[in-house]
A and B are shown apart, each in its own frame.
Chain A
Amino acid sequence: MNIRALFKRIKGSYNTRILIVFIGAMVVLAIGLDLLFINIQRKTYTEQTRRSGLAMARLLAQAIQVGVFAEMASVMSPVVDSLLLQEDIFRVLVLNDKDEVILDRWSDKKRVAEEDDFILQLETVRREGNNFLARADSFVFWWPVLSTVSYSDEEEMYFWDKEPQTEEKKLIGWVAISSSKEPFEREVQQLILRTGLLVTAVLSLAILCTVILLNKMMHPLRNLVAKVARSGEGSEEAFSEIGLLDTTYSNLLESLEQSFATIEELRQNLEEKVEVRTSELACANEDLEKKKETLKKSNVKLEKALKKVQETQAQLIHSEKMAALGQLVAGVAHEVNNNINFIVTAAPALENILKGIRRITDAYHEAGLQETEQEMLAALQRAEALGEELGIATLYSNIDLVLGSIREGCLRSVKIVQELTLFSRQDGDCLNAYDINASLLSTWKFVDTRYKGKVELVTELGAIPQVLCAGGRMSQVFLNVMNNGVQAIGDAGGTLTLTTFSDREMIHIRFVDTGQGIAREDMPRIFDPFFSTKEVGQGTGLGLGICYKIIAQHQGKIRVESAVGKGTAITISIPLYLDDKARPECELILVAL
């Protein structure tokens, strides 16, 4: 095979071209990196040499500080001689603060003849501030010898430790360590050699791996080319890999163009569909707008209805108030009337008694006006006879009785008024310590008088503590519950039992009546506003609702147990201490037995 054929084959073989480019790139990269690495290593090694040399010079300066201060070579010699034992160090030079040599030791006598330019070196060090000098065949490390400033007076010697003074230093001399460059250069050459070998080995390995990897990677492509070549016209030799790939690529491009045409067609169809869907959505939106308008109108109607309901509710509340007021007035009137009866009944009797007494008094008065003694005695006898006739002793005792009756009537009236004041006091939300037992008994007096007479009140009042609550509102609750109880008992008669007891957290008030009970289906609704089983005009159905609200404000509980035909038990529980942060809620338990 000649070179032209080989070149043609390489040109036609994609595999070979990639391989050549890879290997070329790796070689260039490896050489570049190798040079860079060598350069970095050289700099690092130089820096390390500089640092270690300067550290050595610093240590030497510290160690011979006393010798430099005293300018005594004998003091410095042991340290300097030990330093010169190191292979690469061939000279140690010590100067005083006037740059005069106070010690100069060589380990390599051959070098003594070399040009001695330490003064120039020191000038360079001072000028450039760099203590490291890299000369043609040696390194020189310079370091100043510093000493702590002397004590300023005797006080410091006595009382001050010298540590605080260490910052103040004084230059008393210089040290210079000369080191041969040979070991350094030898080390650098070794470094280049080692790095070169390493890079060559790594590069060879990388090329081998690349060939194997590329061969593996190109295997499917070669198979493809072979298949294409077999299926295409002409012999396999007539096709190069690139030519085949070109043909295949052209075919793929045509297929791609066809695909794009198909996609364009689909896109146009999609646009049409989007337009259709958009118009449908617009229609749906119009419908929604119409519905929204309808809802708005409905809303206006509902608002009107609600307003009407609220007005009706207000009227009903007013009616309930008036009904309650009427009931209260009736109760009060009944009680007051009973008491006035005492006075009304006593008044005629008192009038008669007073008339009799006046007649007797007049008779005696008349006797006093007689002129003669006989006439006077006769008149007195008549007066006494009249007294006996009218029963003067009886009259006086009757006065006491009548006055007692009047006093009783007045006292009862006063009591009624006091209790009425207690009941009707508007406490609002003002909470006070309240005696529940006393409140229950006083409230009973205002219970519906139409039924109260047929109801026997049984009280089982326990020793309960006073509770913090709005007393007037609580009385309202008790009155409502008692009224319901006596009304449930009705004309049939029965008992209403009031029981109070307490535990650690709450006070419980239990009202048990022997009335007709609550129907199971009505039970869930008894606290609903406007719910009532009474005849029209007899109740508004707000009573228990108000009770619920008041007990909720006191964070209490209501438990209702009822059995039709047997009676109802309502237990109201009020917490001893109100939680300011708690919501005004009432726990309601309804049990239909």
Chain B
Amino acid sequence: MRQRLFLILLFSFLLPGQAWSFEVLVLQSGEAPPYARAAQAFSDLLLPALPNQGVKSIANNSLCTYTIAKGEKRAAVARLIDEQLPDLVVAIGKKALQAAVSSKRPVVYLLVPQAQALLPAGHQATGVLLENSLGREFAEIRRLLPHLKRVGVVYDPERCESLVSQAVAAQSELTFIRRPITSGKEVVGQLEGLKGEIDLLWMVPDLTAVSPQTEQSYYRFSLQEQIPLFSFSEIHLAHGATLATTFDWQEMGKQAAILALDVLSGTAPQDIPPLQPEKVRIRVNVKIAEKINLQFAVPVK
């Protein structure tokens, strides 16, 4: 009888790895402050909420963070993931997601621009989208600027056609004056053509239309024409944009932690729909707003 009991216990300890504690790998694309904030919020919520199971109580659940160095090849990071075999990879940023999906581990992503476009067929990933609902964003802007009618946008159709189309579809009250380009050199000329035609200039996350060379043209256009510039990133507020979409990085980290708990509890990632940021917030550069004599319908904090 004792011998049988011993064998049962021995067998239970020799169960495959899944029976032991969870290993979560947090993969960061770089050292940008938003990444760090989101990662911290993620671990703060996940670790206390992640229960021990069976013999896992012998070893605690572990959470490792790895930051991809500049110039580090994607294959090297994927190899690292394969060697570590974590139960879950949390990819923060585009590079991290690209490396994570090349391995066959479950992935939760966040802070990845246009993440859905990066996912290969048969992926095991879910996450928190970086894009707000354009309808909600423009609704918020219209709440601030009720007289807004015409929105100008310079974009590369190959990159942002769907994005602009979504906005057009979501906001039928607004007229979108589109200026398609194929090269960054065309931005200045296209902006010249928008003079007197629009009430708001929309800067889209388009690598062709937005670059360090062209950003100045947007800011100068905004100041010269007294037209507010609406950007997709709050970084541009400091340089001359009037309005920008902002995200609560910590809140996004918490959303990712909830998704991670679902994945670790056994739900297939591909079966969990990605989440959108819970809150839509528009930040205003008040100084620029004053310079261009912009009046808001509601008080701006």
State the A residues within 8 Å of B (CB): 65-67, 69-72, 74-75, 147-151, 153-155, 157-162, 165, 172
Known contacts A69-B185, A71-B185, A158-B235; is-contact A147 B205 (Cβ 8 Å): no
Residues of B within 8 A of A154 (CB): 94, 113-114, 205, 207
Binds A, one of B211-219, B259-267, B269-277, B289-297: B211-219
Given that A154-B113, A154-B207, A165-B212 are known contacts, is A70 also in contact with B188, CB under 8 Å in the complex?
yes
| B34, B35, B113, B192: residue with the most chain A Cβ atoms closer than 10 Å | B113
Interface string of B223-261 (1 = CB under 8 A from A): 000000000110100100000000000000000000000
The reply on B74 being an interface residue by CB < 8 A is no
Cα distance, A71 to B34, chains bound together (Å): 36
Given contacts A153-B94, A153-B207, A157-B232, contact A69 B113 (CB under 8 A): no
* A155, B212: Cβ atoms closer than 8 Å: no
B212 touches A161 (CB 8 A): no
Q: How far is the CA of A565 from the CA of B128 in the complex (A)?
A: 116
Complex Cα gap A74–B192 (Å): 10
Q: Is B120 close to A, CB under 8 A?
A: no
Other than A154-B113, A159-B233, give 5 A-B pairs with Cβ distance below 8 A: A66-B213, A150-B207, A150-B212, A155-B30, A160-B32
Q: Are B217 and A161 in contact (CB under 8 A)?
A: no
Q: Is B135 an interface residue (CB 8 A)?
A: no
B130 interface residue (CB < 8 Å to A): yes
B181-228 residues with Cβ-Cβ distance < 8 A to A are 184-189, 192, 205, 207, 210-217, 220
Interface-central residue, B114, B187, B212, B220, by most chain A CB under 10 Å: B212
Of the residues A148, A153, A159, contact of B111 by C-beta under 8 Å:
A159
Q: Could you list 17 A-B pairs, sorted by A, with CB under 8 Å?
A: A66-B220, A67-B188, A69-B214, A70-B188, A70-B217, A147-B213, A148-B212, A150-B184, A150-B213, A153-B94, A153-B95, A155-B112, A157-B205, A159-B93, A159-B233, A159-B235, A160-B32
Verify B212–A162 contact, CB threshold 8 A.
Answer: yes
Q: Does B29 contact A (CB under 8 A)?
A: yes
Determine how close the nearest CB of chain A comes to the CB of B16; give it in whole angstroms.
37
Closest to B93 in A: A155
Which one of A151, A158, A160 contacts B211 once the chains associate, using CB atoms below 8 Å?
A151
Give A454 to B185 CA distance when docked, in angstroms.
Answer: 132
Nearest B residue to A149 via CB reads B212
Closest 5 CB pairs of A and B: A148-B212, A70-B188, A154-B113, A159-B32, A150-B211
Binary per-residue interface labels of chain B (88-110) against chain A in the complex, 1 for a CB within 8 Å, 0 otherwise: 00000111000000000000000
Which residues on the A side are within 8 Å of B235 (C-beta)? 158-161
B128 to chain A, nearest CB (A): 14
CA distance A48 to B81 in the complex (A): 60
Tell me the bound Cα distance from A149 to B112 in angstroms.
Answer: 22
Say how far B49's CB is from chain A's closest CB, in angstroms: 27
Question: What separation, in Å, do the CA atoms of A147 and B188 have in the docked complex?
Answer: 15
Nearest CB on B from A144, distance (A) = 15
Residues of chain A lying within 8 A (CB to CB) of residue B207:
150-151, 153-154, 157
Contacts A147-B212, A165-B212; A159 near B35 (Cβ below 8 A): yes
CB neighbours of A65 from chain B (8 A):
213, 216
Question: A65, A70, A150 — which one has the most chain B CB atoms within 10 A of its CB?
Answer: A70
Contact assessment for B212 and A151 in the assembled complex, using a CB-CB cutoff below 8 Å: yes
Closest Cβ neighbor of B236 among chain A residues: A157
Q: Inside 8 A of B213's CB, which chain A residues have their CB?
A: 65-66, 69, 147-148, 150, 172
Distance of B29 from chain A, by nearest CB (Å):
6
Residues on B with C-beta less than 8 A from A69 are 184-185, 188, 213-214
Task: Considering the complex, give the chain A residue whose CB is closest to the CB of B234.
Answer: A158
Write out the residue numbers on chain A whose beta carbons fall within 8 Å of the beta carbon of B184.
69, 150
Residues 29-61 (chain B) with a chain A CB within 8 angstroms:
29-30, 32-35
Query: Would you give the shortest CB distance from A69 to chain B, in whole angstroms?
Result: 4
Contacts of A159 in B (CB 8 A): 30, 32-35, 93, 111, 233, 235
Verify B216–A70 contact, CB threshold 8 A.
no
Residues of A within 8 A of B32 (CB): 155, 159-160
Residue of A nearest to B249 (CB): A159
Chain B residue at minimal CB-CB distance from A162 = B212
For A154, A158, A160, A161, which residue has the most chain B Cβ atoms within 10 angstroms? A158
B37–chain A nearest beta-carbon distance, Å: 11
Q: Quick one: closest B residue to A161, CB to CB?
A: B235
What chain A residues lie within 8 Å of B34 (beta carbons)? 159
B214 surroundings in chain A (CB, below 8 A): 66, 69
Query: Nearest Cβ in chain A — how far from B176, in angstroms?
Result: 21
Asked if A155 and B94 sit within 8 Å, CB to CB, the answer is: yes
Q: From residue B155, how far is it (CB to closest CB) to chain A in Å?
A: 13
Once the chains are docked, how many angstroms separate the CA of A187 from the CA of B12? 98
A66 pairs with B217, CB closer than 8 A: yes
- Give bound CA distance, A75 to B195, whole Å: 14
> Which residues of the partner chain A approach B114 to less than 8 Å between Cβ atoms?
154
B97 CB, nearest partner CB in chain A, Å: 10
Residues of A within 8 A of B217 (CB): 66, 70
Smallest CB–CB gap between A163 and chain B, Å?
10
Q: How far is the CA of A65 from the CA of B189 in the complex (A)?
A: 14
Q: Which residues of A contact B210 (CB under 8 A)?
A: 151, 157
Q: How far is the CA of A155 from the CA of B213 in the complex (A)?
A: 17
| Chain B residues in 8 Å Cβ range of A66 | 188, 213-214, 216-217, 220
Complex contacts, A75 vs chain B, CB 8 Å: 188
Q: Give CA–CA (A149, B32) in the complex, Å.
A: 19
Using CB atoms, name the residue of chain A closest to B231: A157
Kindly state the separation between the CA atoms of A147 and B232 in the bound complex, as whole angstroms.
23
B95 A155 Cβ-Cβ under 8 A: yes
CA distance in complex: A159, B94 (Å): 11
Q: Contacts A69-B214, A151-B210, A165-B212: A158 and B188 contacting too (C-beta < 8 A)? A: no
The chain B residue sitting closest to A75, CB to CB, is: B188
CB–CB B29/A158 < 8 A: no
Chain A residues, Cβ within 8 Å of B93: 155, 159
- A148 and B188 CA atoms in complex are apart in Å by 16
Contact of A70 among B113, B185, B232 (CB under 8 A): B185
CB within 8 Å for A155 and B29 given contacts A147-B213, A162-B212 = yes
